[in-house]
Amino acid sequence: MKRIVIFGAGGHAKAVIDAVEKQAEYEIVGLLDGGKAAGTHVYGYEVMGDDAWLLHNLDSIDGVIVAIGDNWRRSIVAEMIGKAAPGLPFVTAIHPSAQVARGARVGAGSVLMAGAVLGSDAELGEHGVLYPGSSVDHDSRAGRFVSLAPRAVTGGGVTIGDYTAVAIGASIIHGVAIGEHAVIGAGSTVIRDIPSYTVAYGSPAKPIRSREKGERYL
């Protein structure tokens, strides 16, 4: 069984731990998180330190997954790890109750939680997150560092740009394109294209304001 570390020790990391444990393909060596004291534990796994631990222990692990909920912060940590340890693989975590259809593609470092669905010939880019009960339907493409919160769903042929977050219970009808670095508000119904760097919500969803790269939304 491959030995991995999980980078992150917050609430999102707990959900990732659950998916990894139930997937039963990896042994979790421990957690890394610069914001928590080394020696503390989450679900029985020790916080061993921060990225410095990673650099000194590369020979003892086979992979890493970044368990940070915010898309932009997750990208910063993934980029840091990629530069510091270019040969270390990012692994995927797919809960056994998640469904990955024929022809679907899951990018390295991504997480599919309980009940998530990735439809036929759909794609989830690197380091994406499908939370419990979310669904990306057939022939859709969700880019890198995208997240769909619980019960967020798309129709077929939808495009979601890199770093975009789709909040709880939002629905995106077939064929719609959403740009990068956008945020779709909880419970929204998206029936037309949404530009990049836009916060949109409502039913139907409308652009409300612009947002900056890296602006917090959680």
**Residues 115, 179 within the same domain:** yes
Specify the CATH number for the domain of residue 101.
Answer: 2.160.10.10
**Residues 119, 178 within the same domain:** yes
Q: Is residue 28 part of a domain?
A: yes
8 vs 21: CA distance, rounded Å: 16
Considering 57, 84, 111, which residue would you say is the last residue of a domain? 84
Q: Is residue 101 part of a domain?
A: yes
Choosing from 56, 138, 174, 181, the catalytic residue is 138
Q: Is residue 215 part of a domain?
A: no
The CB density around residue 82, as the number of other CB atoms within 10 Å, is 14
Mean pLDDT lowest among 78-87, 95-104, 141-150, 151-160? 78-87
The answer to whether 138 is a known catalytic residue is yes
**Residues 99, 194 within the same domain:** yes
**Is the confidence at residue 132, as pLDDT, over 90?**
yes
Specify the CATH number for the domain of residue 6.
Answer: 3.40.50.20
- Residues tagged in the binding site annotation: 69, 168
**Is the confidence at residue 78, as pLDDT, over 90?**
yes
- Residues tagged in the binding site annotation for substrate: 69
The tokens describing 2, both together, are 């491959």
DSSP string computed for 118-166 = E-TT-EE-TT-EE-TT-EE-TT-EE-TT-EE-TT-EE-TT-EE-TT-EE
Considering 43, 59, 84, which residue would you say is the last residue of a domain? 84
**Is the confidence at residue 96, as pLDDT, over 90?**
yes
Q: Mean pLDDT for the chain? A: 97
pLDDT-based confidence at residue 51 (cuts at 50, 70, 90): confident
**Residues 107, 204 within the same domain:** yes
**Residues 26, 117 within the same domain:** no
Considering 35, 62, 84, which residue would you say is the last residue of a domain? 84
**Residues 124, 79 within the same domain:** no
pTM for this prediction:
0.96
**Is the confidence at residue 55, as pLDDT, over 90?**
no
- DSSP secondary structure letter of residue 60: G
- Residues tagged in the binding site annotation for acetyl-CoA: 168
List, for residues 156-190, the tens digit of each pLDDT value.
999 999 999 999 999 999 999 999 999 999 999 99
The arithmetic mean of pLDDT across residues 120-133, rounded, is: 98
Which residue range forms the structural domain that includes residue 99? 93-210
Cβ proximity of 178 and 167 under 8 Å: no
